Structure 1
Amino acid sequence: MITDTHTHLYSSQYNEDQDLMMQRAKDAGVSRFFVPAIDSSYTEKMLSLEKNYPGDVFLMMGLHPTYVKENYLDELAHVKKWIDQKDFFAIGEIGIDLYWDKSFLTQQQEAFSTQIKWAKEKKLPIVIHCRDAFDEIFEILEAEKGDNLKGIFHCFTGTKEQALKAISYNMKLGIGGVVTFKNGKIDTFLNEISLQNIVVETDAPYLAPKPFRGKRNESSYITYVIEKLSDIYQLPVDEIAKITTQNSKDVFGI
């Protein structure tokens, strides 16, 4: 059993072949697909996915930091409405992104803190999006840390020191296609991080691993991530899949 802990299955890039793409993933051994939210415009697509693939697709709810704009309070109200009326498996993806635009930093910080509080109230894990914002993310995690907070640092691309700090806040590291890149860097120290702290993901349709880098990603390609981790940890592929899936169960509770 393989778990893709982060895949945007509702992407328009799958409009023409979604069923085939899902079947390829299942044929590759992927049996659990965790789907993050972005903003309110994707909610209906996410609910349709859950209906079309019962028992395979598990939904999160949250406001993605790059979608924190002038209407962010309305978007947060949408998140709160849905988590109050339906069961989700995480609050995500949430966080701070200063790569594209720094002008909404204050609002991103507020949205991140607010959604963490909701996660703790609902006893749900969080899935963190962090880009050029480790210090800002850690500052908020330091304020919110506790036994009632856990989750995943999605698409982790930081240093060993940042990895250890993330783990100290009860976060697993979400490892995807970047680990296969020559300039990815995380492969240089990952073997010093216990595999118990690792989950695997694709972030499909983004960040396809080698040999598909630059092309559309899909959940079946997670096997290339697992093969790279097998090389890094010197463990059989099946063992990597088993341990990382168990880690995902520890996070999501299923």
Structure 2
Amino acid sequence: MQLTDTHTHIYYQAGGPELAKQMDRCFENQVGRLFLPNVDSNSIDKVMQTVSAYPDHCYPMLGLHPCSVKEDYRLELETIEKALSQYKVYAIGEIGLDLYWDKTKLKEQIEAFKIQVDWAKDRNLPIVIHCRDAFDELFTVLKDLRDDKLRGIFHCFTGTLEQAKEAIEYGFYLGIGGVVTFKNAGLDKVVEEVSLDHIVLETDSPYLAPAPFRGKENESSYLYHIAEKVADLHQRSIEEIAEITTQNSKNIFGV
């Protein structure tokens, strides 16, 4: 059995002993494939250090996180675009819209998102979308960008069933993480109704640890508990969940 964490910031541990410890726990829990999204230009080196240390297990993505879209976002994009010519990456991400903390940068977030979607299309890469408190705004943008090259993952999906169906219609998979294990979050009801053909698993480590670790620092080895929950919701074995969602990740990332 092999589980795939399609979204983890495990590279935050690069350069220290904790990285090896967390990776060992991943292997103990059958988590053998990890996809690493950076968040800004400063995180590129740590992503690549981690990939260099675990080239058979870790795969890089590069993008500018919407919460990192500040006044200098064009300079940030220039730096990240240069890195795309230096390294092999498997997606542009994480990118998107986030109106939870700051609604004043929506225009800049949309502009940065569009630029990065163009990068993905030019390179025939998927995108990994971060969307928080901004589904309506994001879908409006996606309508203008929609074509046969637009594809990827709605990372940390926590929307409604209607929003899930819309994302799938646009050609996206749903990244399901620890929130699916939270009581009263409602995501479990959505996941029950979505075919496994449209789902991938993720931790978003070190954030959003699943039950029974909720409130603690998350790590990729905890993906096993997310897979167990999805298996329970779909009344399938965890081995089947691992096989289907890992294959979905291969369909997306090409590796």
Which interval holds the TM-score relative to the shorter structure? over 0.9
1:11 maps to amino acid: Y
TM-aligned CA deviation for residue 139 of structure 1 = 1.1
Query: In structure 2, what is the equivalent of residue 207 of structure 1?
Result: 208
Bigger shift: 156-165 or 82-91? 82-91
RMSD value, Cα:
1.2
Find the counterpart in structure 2 of residue 162 from structure 1: 163
Unaligned runs of 5+ in 1: none
SS of match in other structure, 1:165: helix
Which of structure 1's runs of 4+ aligned residues deviate more than 6 A?
none
Cα deviation, residue 50, structure 1: 1.0
SS at match of 1:41: helix
- Aligned mates of 2:15, 2:156 — CA distance in 1: 21
Shift of 1:137: 0.9
Shift of the alpha carbon at 1:14? 9.0
In 1: Cα distance, 2:113 partner to 2:184 partner: 29
Residue 78 of structure 1: CA displacement? 1.1
Which residue identity is paired with 2:200? V
**TM-score of the aligned structures, taking structure 2 as reference length:** 0.97
Looking at structure 1, the residues matched to 191 and 22 of structure 2 have their Cα atoms a distance apart, in angstroms, of 30
Q: Which residue of 2 aligns with 1:31?
A: 32
TM-score, normalised to structure 1, is 0.98
The corresponding residue for 1:22 is 23
Displacement of 1:15 in angstroms is 3.9
Q: Distance in 1 between matches of 2:14 and 2:123?
A: 33
Gaps of 5+ in 2: none
**What SS is found at the alignment partner of 1:35?**
strand
Write out per-residue CA displacement over residues 212-246 of structure 1, whole angstroms, 9 at most, x where no aligned residue. Answer: 00101111100100000011000011000000000
Residue 231 of structure 1 pairs with residue 240 of structure 2: no
Equivalent residue number for residue 67 of structure 2? 66
Which residue matches 1:127?
128
Q: Is the 8 A contact 1:61 1:92 kept in 2?
A: yes
Whole-angstrom CA distance in 2 between matches of 1:244 and 1:122: 24
CA distance in structure 1 between the aligned counterparts of 2:241 and 2:98, rounded to whole angstroms = 30
Go from structure 1 to structure 2 and tell me whether the alpha carbon gap of 1:12 and 1:87 turns closer, same or farther (over 3 Å shift): closer
Answer whether contact 2:14 2:46 (CA < 8 A) is retained.
no
Q: Distance in 2 between matches of 1:185 and 1:42?
A: 33
Amino acid at match of 2:75: D
Aligned residues: 254
Q: For residue 12 of structure 1, report the CA deviation from its aligned partner.
A: 4.8
